[in-house]
Structure 1
């Protein structure tokens, strides 16, 4: 059965997303407003009856001085990725994007390839033989994911296999998730390691209180975020970015974005943002002060968010990106070490893929990005 692709309205896009258990927060219409420096478009695949059966949020970034665009669908599009005839979805997409002036297309199939339980990873780290997650036998894998990769390659899609520690893509290929389905909050707490349970208890005894913030409290979050950026040596986003995110996402759904702040004696010590689409909840941004770290506000705030995610009916709490390194001496090992304590799972996604519609311009962009 052939499919037709067309621009769809915001309402059509949102209606399709709401019909699913979940989709990436980067594939909802409001995400286009968050990314104000990009032009956005909602596209939909329509079957013979006229029903929207797939959707994608396209972000267009213009090349300097040339009316040609990089078309990016972060963690999307939202289609049937296991369809044996994947071309009936992707060929109409490429034709449409080319007509819009795109010289290159980047997609991020939301397909999980492998999963590793926390206990499996801890055992591998203790054994000191495996240096990367891929060196460890997974507890679960999706055979169809390898078929998807083969279909993409045969159709001319390219992938950067030199992803290093898993950050070669724009979005992380490796993430850490805590399953929530069919578990009570007590089950979740029992799944934490001893250090996490001890830290949660210490925060409680130290009088750390976690509260939900509102738009005006984004300034508190941002002050802590700037401290975190200086400590961890990354370039921070401006306050206006988070204000725009809050306005756009909460207008679409009041629970799409939440802000949490951990206080002790009225002093903010940590703050986080949480995003929700259907049954999937993401820990999005985190920030903390340099002092009073001994009262464990970060553990307290994560525990509050997990319980709230559970109360919302979420089946997965996503702690987002990790490195795939299992080497304790590696600078990125701390990313996985902290998250392992939740007793969740590491998941590997299929990663991002590129299709050069104009090979010369694609190579120029590739060279530019590699030099950056």
Structure 2
């Protein structure tokens, strides 16, 4: 680990950064899209079209050969009443985080954003920090307990090194070191490894309750199918029911999901799919799935309040996991989980449900921010933080 905790090399090559075309950007992403460490769907060029109210840029760092050595989708949010922007790179940049000369590509990025009128920037470093397997978390469950109270099954030295390097350069982790930080994207996610496993391995990885529920859905006649854009209104209706039942609000409109489905699939057919679970002709559950190379994400799930005993959501997840495996994906990412291990906490139910798949809870590095140099920029950054706190 100590070998990775190094400062920048004595001579840092200030890599040239430039605006790149969507074609150049996509070509680079394709070269990085095999395996479990490929780029996030939040760094796709098409994602900029999903985010209403944001401007964007596609940037790339030139490598020694002149081809991009890294790329980033930069979302720019105007600050009301000014010509300044908040810059956001969700789960990005897509770059070599193991490179010792971190300044070689961070410095030109900050310089470019300052010139573009950004007063602050938020990034989402992609290395993982800690991992816990399902058995470890099940054993560690108890009143008042959180993930941080349980010794991790694995600590990623690269994630530790990147966090140290960012802190040394004045970057601030959003929400500090609190497990319930102010990240826009989930700091804790749940992943099921698929690479090198057979479908029998996946089935045996499910706990007894999951296997029983999948069998029950099958015996009850639950049918799982891939839907279309025409089914999005029904998905959204079920989502509103789910939000009300489970006490959360995503704050997204039907138009948001329709736009997401349209632009992601226009970029790559089949990139976003809507899975439906039907029972006796009625849609009881609907889940969305996104695929980028070797990574597959279960993004959003919705289900009805009635006939839950036929277990439509378990049936859907098993179908989606099998499809991801057949696609050749290295990992099935079930996205965000709460940090609580307290069975009495309402939020723990989501973690418990995902634990049943036998995967791993993963703590990412979270999101990091820094104001850009200048008194005005620092003042705007403080005002922006106050605005986010009010929200």
Same fold, TM-score > 0.5, yes or no? yes
**5 Å matches for 1:291-330?**
291-330=306-345
List gaps (5 residues or longer) in structure 2: 1-12
Match of 2:112 among 93, 96, 99: 96
Are residue 35 (structure 1) and residue 47 (structure 2) matched?
Answer: no
Looking at structure 2, the residues matched to 331 and 290 of structure 1 have their Cα atoms a distance apart, in angstroms, of 17
User: Equivalent residue for 2:155?
Assistant: 141
Q: How many residues align?
A: 370
Does the C-alpha gap of structure 1 residues 235 and 311 become closer, same or farther in structure 2, counting only changes over 3 Å? closer
1:281 Cα offset (Å)? 0.4
Looking at structure 2, the residues matched to 31 and 284 of structure 1 have their Cα atoms a distance apart, in angstroms, of 14
> What's the TM-score, normalizing by structure 1?
0.97
**5 Å matches for 1:77-156?**
77-125=93-141, 128=142, 131-156=145-170
Match of 1:275 among 285, 290, 303: 290
1:330 Cα offset (Å)? 1.8
When the two chains are superposed, the root-mean-square deviation of aligned CA atoms in Å is 1.4
Are residue 355 (structure 1) and residue 378 (structure 2) matched?
Answer: no
8 Å Cα contact 1:2/1:47 also seen in 2: no
Deviations along 1:349-369, one digit per CA (max 9) or x if unpaired, are: 011000101211111111221
Looking at structure 2, the residues matched to 148 and 230 of structure 1 have their Cα atoms a distance apart, in angstroms, of 39
Looking at structure 1, the residues matched to 64 and 207 of structure 2 have their Cα atoms a distance apart, in angstroms, of 52
Looking at structure 1, the residues matched to 180 and 272 of structure 2 have their Cα atoms a distance apart, in angstroms, of 26
Deviations along 1:33-84, one digit per CA (max 9) or x if unpaired, are: 1112211111100123311110000111101121111000000000111111
User: Equivalent residue for 1:60?
Assistant: 76
Match of 2:230 among 204, 216, 219: 216
What's the secondary structure of 2:174's corresponding residue?
coil
Are residue 8 (structure 1) and residue 24 (structure 2) matched?
Answer: no
Deviations along 1:92-114, one digit per CA (max 9) or x if unpaired, are: 00011111110110000011011
> What's the TM-score, normalizing by structure 2?
0.92
List gaps (5 residues or longer) in structure 1: none
**5 Å matches for 1:334-353?**
334-353=349-368
Looking at structure 1, the residues matched to 46 and 112 of structure 2 have their Cα atoms a distance apart, in angstroms, of 21
Are residue 168 (structure 1) and residue 187 (structure 2) matched?
Answer: no
Deviations along 1:127-185, one digit per CA (max 9) or x if unpaired, are: x3881111211111111221111111111111134464435211111100000011111
Deviations along 1:215-245, one digit per CA (max 9) or x if unpaired, are: 1111221121121122233154211111110
Looking at structure 2, the residues matched to 131 and 13 of structure 1 have their Cα atoms a distance apart, in angstroms, of 43
Are residue 180 (structure 1) and residue 194 (structure 2) matched?
Answer: yes
**5 Å matches for 1:197-236?**
197-233=211-247, 234-236=249-251
Looking at structure 1, the residues matched to 125 and 356 of structure 2 have their Cα atoms a distance apart, in angstroms, of 28
8 Å Cα contact 2:174/2:181 also seen in 1: no
